[in-house]
Structure 1
Amino acid sequence: LARKMSRQINKTLPTAAETLTAAINRWAQSIKPALATLCENVAVAFSNMAAGLREESEAVEND
């Protein structure tokens, strides 16, 4: 029985690994647009923060 189960695992393991790899690749591809949007929004937030800090710094210098 152990030998039979071992043969069955050896037959199905490569297919299972390929299926899992394909699923992970599809997931990674589907999340890329969301990650890009997140990065863009973070960049805008930092840009706005930098502009605010720059304005405050200039206001202090001008007083």
Structure 2
Amino acid sequence: ELDKRKQRRLARKRARQINKTLPTAAETLAAAAETLAAALNRWVQSIKPALATLCENMAAAFSNVAAGLREESEAVEND
């Protein structure tokens, strides 16, 4: 019987400790998530110019390929 009482006391004590630390842990986790989201947003913003340049270069390359294909097609038609 004493062991069961000690176990219940220990369980209540641990529950109180968890109740004290749980809000702090949740706040810490929320702050970490906000920091991560902000860092991800800054990273995305920083690569946008590079992505724009990449897309422009790819568009120019495809345009050149299309022009070359048109020229070849016209040359075949004219022969």
TM-score, normalised to structure 1, is 0.87
SS of 2:28's partner is helix
Which has the larger Rg?
Answer: 2
Give the Cα–Cα distance (whole angstroms) in 2 for the partners of residues 52 and 43 of structure 1.
14
Q: Does 1:26 align with 2:42?
A: yes
> Following TM superposition, where does structure 1 have runs of at least 4 consecutive aligned residues deviating by more than 4 angstroms?
1-5
Identical counterparts, % of pairs: 71
Q: Which consecutive unaligned segments of at least 5 residues does structure 2 have?
A: 1-16
> CA separation in 1, counterparts of 2:21 and 2:67?
66
2:70 — aligned with what? 54
Alignment of 1:32-47 (within 5 A): 32-47=48-63
Shift of 1:50: 0.4
Q: RMSD of the TM alignment (CA)? A: 1.3
AA partner of residue 25 (structure 2): I
